[in-house]
Amino acid sequence: MTQEFNHIESVYWVFTQLCNDECDHCYNNSGPRGERISEEECMAIIGNLPESMDRLILSGGEPLADKKLLYKILDRLQGRYQGRVQLMLQTNGDLLNGQILDTLLEKGITRFDIASIDRYHKHAGARLMELAELFASRGVNGDDKDPLVEKSTYLTKHKASWGYWGATIDMWLGGNWARGRAYEKGLWKEDPEHNFCAILSGGKGFLTGAEDIPQEISIQLWKINPCCPGTKVPLGDARTEKVADVLQRVSKSEIWQKINEGKPLEMGESIGVTAELAKERTAQLKNICLWCDEFFEKHYQGEAVERSCGGCRR
């Protein structure tokens, strides 16, 4: 695979796990004591992002629970990209008001996704009509209410737009992930036949994109990942490595190529871990992501190396 990675269609960055809520289904254990990284580390990560991106999704945690850091991140992003990147915010909407919305629009946010319309969140969608009126009062378009997940719609066509979704069967991507509190509380999707890796937010297309979904990588605090839930071993460290260099390095690995193809059952074949074994263990574990975890814990020794989070703070 020969490809340059100075342009990526979509980057999903969880820059904080601080949150005003503590939902049972949360995949990254966000909450009032959620893990954070410093402003200095965030600025280093921005410096290591690709030269060109179509969109950058800022998420958490709850980004507005770490508002001061969010504003500094937006200022640095505008300074670097000069409006060439669509900046999107994923928020539960609890802390959003007119003054904050005005500031976010001034700082370049083009898309707002209210990701709390479900029974797990504190307000369970009760603020939806209030938020609709707030967005309308600022001229934020509400026609595209669904998540922007398909190749043809992953960018907003408006100066600013908003939508909403949540952890329901109809709206959530692939069911509750087998991570964090969702896993601890038994709320994760137990279905060995469901290949989460083959949809957006999974690993499919993280190197090359795909016909139906954009190329997207995830950065969980500082860990570069091919998917939003994150692999047990991250691809690299966005604080100290250029994202383009990390993707170039792992693109040479047959293991990561299989994840890029959305075929995690086959990712171990190049090192003697058969698809038959992977399918058997996935059936026993009841979730493809849990098989992925086991593979990286027991079988993988390679290019991507777990690093200690020396700069993290709580």
> Tens of pLDDT along 265-277?
999 999 999 999 9
Per residue in 184-242, pLDDT (tens digit) is 999 888 999 999 899 888 999 999 999 888 999 999 999 999 999 899 999 999 999 99
How far apart, in whole angstroms, are the C-alpha atoms of residue 119 and residue 23?
9
How far apart, in whole angstroms, are the C-alpha atoms of residue 77 and residue 97?
23
Rounded to 5 degrees, φ, ψ at 13 are -120, 115
Residue 273: which of 296, 257, 250 has the closest Cα?
Answer: 296
pLDDT at 73 over 70: yes
Whether the CA torsion 201, 168, 147, 108 is positive or negative: it is negative
More confident residue, 2 or 307: 2
pLDDT for position 120: 67
Confidence of residue 168 (pLDDT cuts 50, 70, 90): low
How far apart, in whole angstroms, are the C-alpha atoms of residue 36 and residue 30?
10
Tokens 């390095």 correspond to 249
Our measurement of the distance from residue 173's CA atom to the centroid of its chain's CA atoms, rounded to an integer in Å, reads: 11
pLDDT for position 174: 58
| Share of residues in the chain with pLDDT > 70 (%) | 90
Per residue in 34-51, pLDDT (tens digit) is 999 999 999 999 999 999
Q: In which order are the strands placed within the sheet that holds 161-164? A: 161-164, 109-114, 86-91, 52-59, 7-14, 216-220, 223-225, 236-237
Residue 197: which of 291, 300, 303, 58 has the closest Cα?
Answer: 291
pLDDT at 141 over 50: yes
pLDDT for position 124: 65
Residue-range domains of the chain with CATH: 7-194 (3.80.30), 251-299 (no CATH)
Confidence of residue 284 (pLDDT cuts 50, 70, 90): very high
Rounded to 5 degrees, φ, ψ at 99 are -65, -45
235's tokens: 């691809």
Per residue in 75-132, pLDDT (tens digit) is 999 999 999 999 999 999 999 999 999 999 999 999 999 988 766 667 667 889 999 9
- H or E, element range at 139: none
Q: Which alpha helices (DSSP H) does the chain contain, by range?
A: 39-48, 67-81, 98-106, 128-137, 180-184, 243-250, 254-260, 275-285, 288-298
pTM (2 decimals)?
A: 0.91
Confidence of residue 56 (pLDDT cuts 50, 70, 90): very high
What average pLDDT score do residues 9-29 get?
92
Rounded to 5 degrees, φ, ψ at 299 are -120, -20
Confidence of residue 143 (pLDDT cuts 50, 70, 90): very high
